[in-house]
């Protein structure tokens, strides 16, 4: 039996032999970005690589997801390594799709690459014969919470229930027998690796204000201006910001997606989209109630109607401290720079999994000094973001599944899930709501 350090050295060699494949797959995905639940080309690219390795593939999970599983010599914990398939619309990004504006401005293409790199590091008899347990590599659709109107239409048709891919896979039972999950996310304006920290959760809102059209110059008094209702609502939200507790990390950031039809007509229909983000489920619920009051008040002030659709978003992110400590030690045993992160205002459906099982969601640098979701966000160091990131996850998995998976079993036994699957799904569905308030007195 190899020692644990010998195993890690061997796994590193196996990865180095095939790292060009993982890097090239990342670059191929970068070149043809797709948004959530539409990642068909991306799915095919990954499928072809996995098929070339003679692996058994489970395909078409939540439309575009896929997975493969490898097994140690003995039974033990089941670990998931996750990569996300989708990009998001970012006009002006140098690698954006010319028709859809989709771009990998959040680095999901390197997640698929470092997921594959982890597979290359572990998928040999020499490694697996020393491990107890299974490792699934899951390419997950739709992490970016965008195109809400389109997704809600698909949801109403029964194509899926939840707008986030991991959420849908939880519902479908893909994570039922998985004990631990991990993934590594890209980060801009950052060097080395970041571990720990927490992140906001969110609910999404789609709002329609209905007024009454009239000639904007000749008869504005006959109309009900839906744009005024929307503007007042946003001002109401701004007036509430001082009521948000600092440690709740509330973020409310609406956009107008339809501001009217023509300039010489009083706007009859105006639509908004917004997220309500917060550091805990209770904070999100409280802020969401305030936002609903603001929306009703804006409609009431001008005698309009407002339809408020609230959709379940993502749960707040946190990490299992014991699992994180193992990952941290692997970072410290390499030449890679690493640092512990604080709270982040963004959101991910990895937070949903964190409520169900032990997870880690570290970050890796290697991108430009630009914020994610912008045209300037471009991954430059693929050796770091793909190869080294995959190596760190592989080393962590070896720690977990070595010696009869004693460490992995200990982490699982010490972890208390915050929610059961049924409690999680119930909470998700309770966030879903449609309210219509009509204040038209004419």
Q: Are 140 and 182 in contact (CB under 8 A)?
A: no
pLDDT of residue 243: 98
Q: Are 192 and 363 in contact (CB under 8 A)?
A: no
pLDDT in tens, 257-277: 999 999 999 999 999 999 999
pLDDT of residue 441: 80
Q: Which ranges of the chain have pLDDT less than 70?
A: 442
The domain ranges of the chain are 4-199+316-404, 201-314+431-438
pLDDT of residue 232: 99
pLDDT in tens, 20-78: 999 999 999 999 999 999 999 999 999 999 999 999 999 999 999 999 999 999 999 99
pLDDT of residue 174: 99
The hierarchical CATH code for the domain 201-314+431-438 is 3.30.70.360
Q: pTM here?
A: 0.95
Record the tokens describing residue 366, joined without a space: 């290697």
Record the tokens describing residue 313, joined without a space: 């978003």
pLDDT of residue 442: 67
CA 15 to CA 391: how far, in whole Å?
Answer: 8
CATH architecture label of 4-199+316-404:
3-Layer(aba) Sandwich (3.40)
CA 119 to CA 138: how far, in whole Å?
Answer: 11
């Amino acid at each position: 039996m190899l020692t644990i350090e010998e195993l890690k050295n061997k796994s590193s060699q196996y990865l180095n032999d095939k790292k060009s494949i993982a890097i090239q797959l990342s670059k191929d995905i970068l070149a043809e970005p797709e948004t959530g639940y539409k990642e068909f080309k991306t799915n095919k690219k990954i499928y072809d690589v996995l098929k070339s390795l003679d692996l058994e593939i489970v395909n078409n999970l939540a439309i575009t997801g896929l997975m493969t599983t490898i097994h140690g010599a003995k039974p033990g914990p089941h670990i998931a390594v996750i990569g996300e398939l989708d990009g998001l619309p970012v006009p002006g990004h140098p690698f954006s799709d010319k028709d859809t504006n989709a771009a990998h401005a959040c680095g999901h293409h390197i997640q698929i690459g470092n997921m594959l790199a982890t597979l290359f590091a572990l998928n040999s008899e020499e490694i697996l014969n020393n491990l107890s347990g299974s490792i699934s590599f899951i390419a997950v659709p739709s992490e970016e919470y965008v195109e809400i109107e389109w997704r809600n239409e698909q949801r109403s048709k029964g194509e899926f229930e939840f707008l986030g891919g991991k959420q849908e896979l939880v519902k479908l039972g893909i994570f039922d027998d998985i004990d631990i999950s991990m993934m590594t996310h890209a980060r801009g304006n950052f060097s080395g690796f970041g571990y720990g920290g927490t992140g906001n959760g969110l609910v999404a809102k789609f709002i329609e204000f209905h007024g009454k059209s009239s000639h904007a110059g000749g008869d504005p008094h006959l109309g009900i201006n839906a744009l005024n209702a929307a503007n007042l609502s946003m001002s109401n939200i701004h007036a509430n910001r001082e009521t948000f507790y600092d440690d709740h990390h509330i973020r409310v950031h609406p956009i107008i997606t339809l501001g009217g039809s023509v300039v010489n007509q009083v706007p009859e229909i105006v639509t908004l989209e917004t997220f309500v983000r917060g550091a805990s489920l209770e904070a999100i619920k409280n802020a969401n109630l305030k936002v609903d009051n603001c929306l009703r008040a804006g409609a009431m002030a001008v005698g309009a109607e407002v339809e408020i659709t609230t959709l379940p978003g993502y749960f707040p992110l946190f990490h299992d401290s014991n699992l994180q400590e193992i990952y941290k030690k692997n970072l410290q045993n390499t030449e890679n720079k690493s640092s512990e992160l604080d709270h982040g205002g963004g959101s991910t459906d990895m937070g949903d999994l964190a409520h169900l099982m032990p997870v880690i969601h570290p970050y890796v640098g290697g991108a430009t000094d630009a914020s994610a979701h912008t045209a300037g966000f471009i991954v430059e160091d693929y050796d770091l973001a793909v190869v080294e990131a995959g190596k760190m996850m592989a080393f962590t998995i070896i720690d977990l599944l070595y010696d009869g998976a004693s460490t992995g079993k200990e982490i699982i036994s010490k972890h208390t899930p915050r929610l059961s699957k049924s409690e999680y799904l119930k909470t998700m569905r309770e966030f879903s709501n449609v309210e219509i308030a009509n204040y038209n007195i004419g």
